[in-house]
Amino acid sequence: MEEADGSAKKARLELPNGHVKQEVGVHLAVGGGDDGGAIVPAEAGYGSRVELAVKIDMSVLHCPLCTLPFKPPVFQCNKGGHLGCGGCVALLPGGQCKTCEDGGGFFHPCPALDAIVSSTKVECAHAGCQTYVPYHEAADHRSACPHALCHCAETGCGFVGAPQALAGHLADLHSVPVRTVQYGRVSQVPVSGPQQLLVGEEDGRAFLLTVGALGAAAAAVSVLCVRASASTQPRFSCKMWVNLLQPANGGRADMALVDMQVRSST
């Protein structure tokens, strides 16, 4: 089995040939990595912090050499005042400014511009997030935001919405059964249907359990977290097993077991 990496491939459990008892044991656990905590703004130099909403020409926040957003450290030419990001300045021999006509300027770190770049924040565009992040981190945040839009995987369905909305969409429009589970506890889940939504009792997060035929006497089972694929926090693991019916001769029944990282749905 391949390591989970958030790609479109679904981790699956291939069951051995035989008559399958129609239930799967599912054990979900949350953990790993950091908590994805709130982004803490930099403190003002003196006194209490005061915030101000302003409008600014977006080009001011971009490096004129590579056009990417500035992020600390920002460099300024000591002669013409030209600006450059750390990546571009590192490529200039001796840090010499090529914009100056006579080439007499050299780039040096500018702490004042670093402070401006670090404190310039924008609101996440995803509905329900309401998080403000530094402008140069906005693109990374949008792709990893827990409120990033998800696409319905049902064939022919064009629904796009937040993870919570997608879970409700699957339950209401596609009649996917919903079952509440607890993290860290074993849940016996019948697999009579092709799909089920497992909703975490602690945080309401939804997981899609899918069962598909794999030949005449086997099945493939997968569990996905309903969220955008770029969202990596929190991380979940799932321990899943299935018991085959006891043979008619009274022998011991076989069991298939898999322990895997839970991938994102889209």
* Residue 255: other Cβ atoms inside 10 A: 12
Q: Which of 119-123, 193-197, 243-247 has the least mean pLDDT?
A: 243-247
- As given in the structure block, the two tokens for residue 92 are 């200039």
pLDDT at 185: 84
83: β partners? 76
Q: What is the DSSP string of the chain?
A: -PPP-SSSPPP-EEPPSSPBPSEEEEEEEE-SS----PPPPPPPSSSS---------GGGGB-TTT-SBP-SSEEEETTT--EEEHHHHTTSGGGB-SSSTTS--BEEE-HHHHHHHHH-EEE-SSTTT--EEEGGGHHHHHHH-TT--EE--STT---EE-HHHHHHHHHHTS---EEEE-TTSEEEEE-SSSEEEEEETTT--EEEEEEEE-SSS-EEEEEEESS-TT---S-EEEEEEEEBPPPTT-PPPPEEEEEEEPEE--
* Rounded Cα gap, residues 176 and 167, in angstroms: 9
Q: For the chain, what is the mean pLDDT?
A: 75
* Rounded Cα gap, residues 26 and 7, in angstroms: 22
Q: What is the pLDDT of residues 159-192, one digit of tens each?
A: 888 877 888 888 888 888 888 888 888 888 777 7
Asked whether the beta carbons of 191 and 183 are under 8 A apart, the reply is: no
Q: What is the pLDDT of residues 184-230, one digit of tens each?
A: 888 887 777 788 888 888 777 788 888 877 777 677 778 888 776 65
28: β partners? 238
* Rounded Cα gap, residues 83 and 99, in angstroms: 10
pLDDT at 20: 45
Q: Where in the chain is the domain with CATH 3.30.40.10?
A: 58-119
pLDDT at 18: 45
Tokens 């953990």: give the residue. 31
* Rounded Cα gap, residues 45 and 49, in angstroms: 9
84: β partners? 75
* Residue 116: other Cβ atoms inside 10 A: 16
Span 50-77, average pLDDT: 90
> Could you confirm whether domain 58-119 is CATH 3.30.40.10?
yes
Span 224-241, average pLDDT: 73
